[in-house]
Amino acid sequence: MDSESIEDLIKKKDEFQENANDFRKKRDYLHDKSKKMAMERDGINAKVRQIRNQISEHRRKRDEYNERVKHAKEQRNELIGNHFELKRRIKELERERSSTSGVSLSQLKQSLRKSENEQMTQPMSSQKEKKLIETIKEIHTKIKDEEETLNKDPELKKAVEEEKRVKKKIEKQHELVEKMAKKAQEEHQGMIELRAQLANFVKKTSEIQERIVLTKMEADTVHREFIDNVNKIHELEKEISGAEKKKVVKKKIADVSAAQKQADEIFERFKRGEKLSTEDLMILQKAGLL
C-alpha cells in the first residue's frame, strides 16, 4: 500500500472523528435536555402530590361540614315541630279564653290586616280614609286590650314565652345550618378548583414525559451513530497501522536489495583486482562477502 493510500485512510479517519465528535455533542445535549425535562416533570409531580393532599383535606372538611349540616337540620326540624305544637297550643288557649270573653284575638288580627291592606291599596275619599283610620285605631286598641288580658293568664303566658324561646332557637339553628352549608360549599368549591389545577398539571407532566421519551429515543439513535463512527475509526486505525508496517517492511526490503546490489558491484570490482576503499570493504563485510 503506497503513501497516498495511507493519506486517504487518515483523511477518512479524520472525517469519521469529526462526525463522531458532532454525534457525541448532540447526544450529550439530548441527555442534558432529558435531565432538565425530568427535573421539570418531577417538580410538577411534587405539586401534583401536594394538590392531591389538599383535595383530600378539602373533601374531609366538606364531608365533616355536611355531616354537621345534617345534624343541625335534624335539631332544627325537631325545634320546628315543637314550635308548631306550641303555636297550636297557644291558639287553643286563645280560643278558650276568647270564648269566655267573647272576643277573638285571631279574628281581630285578621280584620286589622284586611283594613290596613284596604288603606294601602284601595282609592277612597278623604272622609272614608279618615273613617278607616279610626277603625284601624279601634282594632289596635282591642288587640292590645285582649293581649293584655290574655298575658295575665299564667298558662297562656308561659306558652307564649316558650314559643318565643323556641322560635329564637330555630333562628339560631337555621343560622348554624346556613353557616355550615356555606363552609361545606366553600370546601367543595376549593376542591373543584384544585381538581382543575390537578388536571392541568397531570396533562403537562404527560406531555413532558412524552417529550422525554422521544428525546431519549433520539439520543439513543445519535449514540448508535457515534458508536458506528468510533468503530470505523478503530478499523481505519488498524488499517493505517498495518499499511504503515507494510510500508516500513517494503522499505527495508528495498534498502537491503539496494545494499546487496551495491555490494555485488564492489565485489566484482574486487575480483577484477581494482583497489577498494575502506568504505567499500565495510560494505562487503556487511554483506558477508568478505
Dump pLDDT digits (tens) for 254-283.
666 776 777 677 767 777 777 777 787 676
Give, in degrees to the nearest 5, the angle at Cα 209 between 203 and 215. 140
Dump pLDDT digits (tens) for 91-103.
888 777 665 555 6
What's the pLDDT at 50?
96
Are 90 and 155 spatial neighbours (Cβ–Cβ below 8 Å)? no
Are 30 and 219 spatial neighbours (Cβ–Cβ below 8 Å)? yes
Q: Note whether residue 144 is domain-resident.
A: yes
Q: Note whether residue 277 is domain-resident.
A: no
CB atoms under 10 Å from CB of 69, counted, come to 19
Are 12 and 257 spatial neighbours (Cβ–Cβ below 8 Å)? no
Q: Rounded to whole angstroms, how far apart are CA atoms 179 and 177?
A: 5
Residue 178 has pLDDT above 90, yes or no: yes
What is the arithmetic mean of pLDDT over 215-241?
93
Give, in degrees to the nearest 5, the angle at Cα 180 between 176 and 184. 170
Q: Domains in the chain: how many in total?
A: 1
Dump pLDDT digits (tens) for 118-167.
778 888 888 887 887 888 888 888 778 777 766 677 887 888 889 999 99
Are 98 and 142 spatial neighbours (Cβ–Cβ below 8 Å)? no
Are 44 and 200 spatial neighbours (Cβ–Cβ below 8 Å)? no
Are 134 and 37 spatial neighbours (Cβ–Cβ below 8 Å)? no
Q: Which amino acid is at 182?
A: K
What's the pLDDT at 288?
66
Are 103 and 142 spatial neighbours (Cβ–Cβ below 8 Å)? yes
Q: Rounded to whole angstroms, how far apart are CA atoms 145 and 147?
A: 5
Residue 194 belongs to what domain range? 3-238
Q: Note whether residue 253 is domain-resident.
A: no
What's the pLDDT at 251?
74
Q: Note whether residue 245 is domain-resident.
A: no
Kindly list the distances between the CA atom of residue 156 and the CA atoms of 93, 96, 153, 163, 168, in Å, as whole numbers in the listed order.
Answer: 6, 10, 5, 10, 18
The grid cell for 182 is 356555606
Q: Name the DSSP class of 275.
A: -
Q: Note whether residue 27 is domain-resident.
A: yes
The grid cell for 73 is 337540620
Q: Which amino acid is at 266?
A: I
Q: Note whether residue 134 is domain-resident.
A: yes
Q: Rounded to whole angstroms, how far apart are CA atoms 271 and 206?
A: 97
Are 201 and 51 spatial neighbours (Cβ–Cβ below 8 Å)? yes
Q: Note whether residue 70 is domain-resident.
A: yes
What's the pLDDT at 284?
65
Residue for grid cell 555490494:
263
> Which CATH number covers residue 231?
1.10.287
